[in-house]
Amino acid sequence: MRLFVAIDVSTEVRTVLLEHQRRISSVASSGNFSHRDNLHLTLAFLGELPPSDLPRITGIVDSLDIPPFPLVIDTLGRFARSGSDIWWAGVYRNPVLLTLQSLLDSRFQEAGFTLDNRPFAAHITLARQVRMPDAHAVRELLDPIKPIRMTVGRISVMESTRIEGKLTYIELHGHDLGR
């Protein structure tokens, strides 16, 4: 099982993110655009693990005592890659989000899970393998966006799998914050 812990986004937030995704798509020469149901913010990527690890993972997630908190998506950006880029919607880094991610990271490591060593960059991936026609097209898209606000009230243990050839994220376990 390919597992990660994430914050899902509401239908309203998805709708706005898809508008930004369409803006990127209208300018890009090519790209692999995230399916609307797959839009999320990854807090911890656990990778390929046996199903027998799921109870330990859900136990760690359920042990978190974090209240619901506001989240603001306020930028578009890209991770520049050789030949093609990853485009994302950036999340304003608030203290509760950073605490949540840090707690997950430390508790998974203490439990013996191996996590990605890269620093946490709060974002929602909109597209991968994006090729832009020129630097001007990139600059046009990197203008500030109107902030998108939501309240995070739940985090989820997700499985990444393919169903009939389509990448699909399935919630295996959810933890309501503040409980």
Q: Annotated catalytic, 40?
A: yes
Sign of CA pseudo-dihedral 88, 89, 92, 97: negative
Active-site entry in 40, 136, 173, 175: 40
DSSP codes of every residue in 120-161: P--EEEEEEEEE-S-HHHHHHHTS----EEEEE-EEEEEEEE
The answer to whether 73 and 90 have CB atoms below 8 angstroms apart is: yes
Task: For Cα atoms 96, 116, 154, give the angle at the middle one, nearest 5 degrees.
Answer: 35
Which has the closest alpha carbon to 93: 81, 85, 101?
Answer: 101
Q: Annotated catalytic, 20?
A: no
Active-site entry in 20, 123, 173, 175: 123
Active site residues: 40, 123
